[in-house]
Amino acid sequence: MKTILLKIYLLLEAFTVFWGLPVYVYFFPDNIKKIPTLLGITILAFLILVFNKKYKLKNLISFDGVK
Amino acid sequence: MPVILKRALIVFLFLLMLTFFIVPERLFEFPSSSPILWLLVMFLYPVLSAYPQELLYRTFIFERYKKAITSPFRLGLFSTFSFMFLHIIYGNFLAPVLPLGGGILFTNTYKKTNSLMAVAIELAIYGCIVFTIGLGRFFYEMAHSNTLPK
């Protein structure tokens, strides 16, 4: 049950941020400050990655796997 | 890395032809009309735009939503189409179409390498090509119209 709820939450979050927000900006471009919003989302995403124990932070700057 | 550079050469030739056919009057307009601003964009775009975009659309999506979208193929599709969908904000037909192609390439690179830097560099190269070659206006003018930006 917990897993299903988490999946639903994550899907809602994903579609709201990555699909809902562009639609909102498209229709109401003057209602939102684009650069601070994008900066805020990027910083939030960065922090989520930083606090994700499973994510190796060196991957943010490494070229491992690049041939 | 040589793969990325080879692909960049093909993308450059494709975008060169595209510019020549749809907006020939804008071919290399940016570097020739405002060289200082162009240089600034060439330095700042990779750091302030390409890297954060790839952080969001590749690393973040792949790390955070792998629990919700368990199929790597579907996760790749979500990443690619989300990246394309962001560009609807520019309100012209080309802005979402080119990132669809780019998104497929970046997602593919990210899946193979798991390297944010590799995809950020790839986007930076393509972005700089777009701005240099004369298609930059399609990617910074916010508009509602479905026509070509003036």
Residue B102 and residue B8 in contact, taking contact as beta carbons nearer than 8 Å: no
| Same domain, yes or no: A14 and A24 | yes
Return the residue of A nearest to B144 by Cα: A26
**ipTM score of the complex?**
0.88
> Is A14 a domain residue?
yes
| Same domain, yes or no: A21 and A41 | no
Look at residue A58 in the predicted model and tell me its pLDDT: 77
The residue segments making up the domain with residue A7 are 1-31
| Same domain, yes or no: A20 and A40 | no
pLDDT at A64 over 50: yes
What total of structural domains would you count in chain A? 2
Taking the CA of residue A1 and the nearest CA in chain B, the distance in Å comes to: 14
| Same domain, yes or no: A24 and A40 | no
Taking the CA of residue B21 and the nearest CA in chain A, the distance in Å comes to: 28
CB distance A29–B67 less than 8 Å? Answer: no
> Is A1 a domain residue?
yes
Q: Which residues of A touch B89 (CB under 8 A)?
A: 22, 25-26, 29, 34
Does the CB of A6 have a partner CB in chain B at under 8 Å? yes
Q: Which residues of A touch B78 (CB under 8 A)?
A: 14, 18
Give the distance from CA A25 to its chain's centroid.
16
CB distance A42–B115 less than 8 Å? Answer: no
> Is A67 a domain residue?
no
Look at residue A67 in the predicted model and tell me its pLDDT: 63
Rounded to two decimals, the pTM is 0.89
> Is A47 a domain residue?
yes
Does the CB of A19 have a partner CB in chain B at under 8 Å? yes
| Same domain, yes or no: A19 and A37 | no
Task: Give the C-alpha separation, A56 to A4, whole Å.
Answer: 26
| Same domain, yes or no: A3 and A22 | yes
| Same domain, yes or no: A37 and A25 | no
Task: Give the C-alpha separation, B23 to B63, whole Å.
Answer: 39
pLDDT in tens, B68-87: 999 999 999 999 999 999 99
Task: Give the C-alpha separation, A63 to B115, whole Å.
Answer: 6
